[in-house]
Amino acid sequence: MNGSPAIQSANGGAMAFTTTDWSIVLEAQGETPAAQRALEILCRTYWRPIYSFVRQQGVGPEEAEDLTQAFFALLLERKGFDRVRKEKGRLRSYLLVSFKNFLADERSRAMAIKRGRGQRVVSLEELRDKEGVNVEPADTLTADQIYERRCALTVLEQVLSRLEEEYRRTNSGPVFKRFEKLLANEPGHLSQADIASQLGMTENAVKQAFHRFRQRYRSLFREAIAHTVAVPGDIEDELRHLIAVLRA
């Protein structure tokens, strides 16, 4: 998107993490085409955490969709991101606080928006069906915990998607699929010896390749997080937070 600087990868290619960049928050103001594109990207990226948060509070699917749509639409309409220029923080936290304020201050107005009316940023029904994700409430988690987990998973999915793209560009898709399972330490996953046998590699070669894979994954994860915080000093804290959320 124009105006949103992309992080450069080690090989000089543009990274695909501008979808969670603070620069997009700053762009999502006014009624310009660039602002509309920025808002759409934010909605596509964060609709699951926001939608899941409100669903966990006992709100039905249709009402939750309306509230999610109205939240992003009203931010653009009211230029609700103006104060971000003077604040330091994390996009994850900023959006949740903004949404809670929205629910408290604007709920009556949001409920007046009928389905098919008002400014619908993107079709949440289409996104939900296309992504095939479960966004229904989990009884064991609070709304805040649901939101935090969805945000963490959003970053993780972006990182893995970018890493897969890099491997596919070098015709190494099968390697990525095996290493992804090895990274997740899934029950019953293949051992490095199994992978070596399947790919016609030595175990030592697989070990070295997986080490590079893990290093690249960590690098991309840090770069993704760097685009969700206002100052570099917050990166380590945010990294520890997201890891703790994913492991919980």
Contact call for residues 72 and 39 (beta carbons, < 8 A): yes
Distance between CA atoms of 40 and 177, rounded to whole angstroms?
30
pLDDT of residue 84: 53
Distance between CA atoms of 166 and 32, rounded to whole angstroms?
33
Distance between CA atoms of 121 and 40, rounded to whole angstroms?
6
Of the candidates 141, 165, 162, 183, the residue with the CA atom closest to the CA atom of residue 49: 141
Q: What is the pLDDT of residues 88-137, one digit of tens each?
A: 567 788 888 888 888 877 555 555 544 444 455 555 555 555 554 555 55
Give residue 245's identity as a one-letter amino acid code: V
pLDDT of residue 10: 33
E strand or H helix at 73, and its extent?
helix 61-77
- Which two structure tokens, joined as six digits, stand for 243? 């890891």
User: Reduced to 3 states, what is the DSSP secondary structure of residue 8?
Assistant: strand
pLDDT of residue 5: 31
pLDDT of residue 117: 44
pLDDT of residue 60: 86
Contact call for residues 144 and 53 (beta carbons, < 8 A): yes
Contact call for residues 107 and 57 (beta carbons, < 8 A): no
Q: What residues pair up with 229 in beta bridges, in sequence order?
A: 90
Distance between CA atoms of 206 and 212, rounded to whole angstroms?
10
Residue with tokens 């509309």: 36
pLDDT of residue 11: 37
Distance between CA atoms of 119 and 73, rounded to whole angstroms?
6
pLDDT of residue 102: 83
pLDDT of residue 122: 55
pLDDT tens for the chain, residues 1 to 248? 333 333 233 333 333 434 345 666 666 655 677 767 777 777 778 888 999 998 888 888 888 888 888 887 776 665 555 555 444 567 788 888 888 888 877 555 555 544 444 455 555 555 555 554 555 555 678 899 999 998 898 889 889 999 999 999 998 989 999 999 888 776 567 788 999 999 999 999 999 999 999 999 999 999 988 888 877 888 899 899 998 998 87
Q: What angle do CA 166, 172, 173 make, to 5 degrees?
A: 85
pLDDT of residue 135: 54
pLDDT of residue 69: 82
Distance between CA atoms of 42 and 28, rounded to whole angstroms?
9
Distance between CA atoms of 156 and 243, rounded to whole angstroms?
10
Of the candidates 46, 49, 59, the residue with the CA atom closest to the CA atom of residue 122: 46
Contact call for residues 183 and 213 (beta carbons, < 8 A): yes
